[in-house]
Amino acid sequence: MAAKSSALRLGRFSEVGQVYLITTATQDRATLFADFWTARTCISELRRCDQFGRCETLAYVLMPDHLHWLVQLSEGQLHELVRNFKASSSRAINEMHNTAGRQRWQTGYHDRTIRDDQELKVAARYLVANPLRAGLVERLADYPHWDATWI
C-alpha cells in the first residue's frame, strides 16, 4: 500500500488561499467515529487547525470511517496541514482511549482542488449529504458530526 500512497503524492501541488476537498479514511476503515465522543474529539482537533491559523474550514462531515473536509489553506502546504491534523487527532483519540501510539488514519488522503464558486457549491452539497446517502439518518439535522460555514 505504501507505493500507492506515494503515487498519490506525485504531482500534488498546494497553494495558500486555494480551497480543497480532502477525503481521508480511518485505519482499516474502522468505524471509529460511530462513537459520539471519539467523533467530537476528532472534530475538536479539526477546529484547532483553524484556531492556529493554518486553514479555514468551510465544511466537513465526519462519517463513521472517514472524513470529508472542505478547507481553504491559510499557510504552509496541504500535506503538512493534513499530516498535522491526523497526528493531533490520533494523539487526542489515543489519549481518550488509553491506546498510545495506535495508528488511527490510513496513510495518504485524496484531495481535489476546488476551482470556482459553482464547484464549491457542488462539493459542499455532496459533502454534507453523505450521512443521508449512507442511510445513517433520514434528515441531515439528525446527524451531529458535520458543519458548514453557510448554515
Inter-residue contact 94 to 100 (CB < 8 Å): yes
Give me the phi and psi of 111, to 5 degrees please.
-130, 145
* For range 90-113, the mean pLDDT: 96
* For range 97-107, the mean pLDDT: 96
4 pLDDT exceeds 50? Answer: no
Residue count of the chain: 151
149 vs 9, residue with greater confidence? 149
Residue 37: count of CB within 10 angstroms of its CB:
11
70 pLDDT exceeds 50? Answer: yes
Torsion angle defined by CA atoms of residues 26, 84, 133 and 27, in that order, rounded to the nearest 10 degrees? -10
| Max Cα-Cα span within the chain | 44
How much is the pLDDT for 2? 43
Q: Give all strands of the β-sheet with 66-73 in edge-to-edge order.
A: 110-114, 19-25, 66-73, 55-62, 146-148
For cell 499557510, name the residue.
75
pLDDT tens-place string over residues 12-45: 678 999 999 999 999 999 999 999 999 999 999 9
* Containing structural domain, residue 81: 2-148
* For range 110-120, the mean pLDDT: 95
The closest of 59, 74, 49 to 129, measured between CA atoms, is: 59
- Counting the structural domains of the chain, the total is 1
How much is the pLDDT for 11? 55
List the CATH number of the domain containing 75: 3.30.70.1290
The per-residue pLDDT of the chain, averaged, comes to 92
55 — pLDDT class (breaks 50, 70, 90) = very high
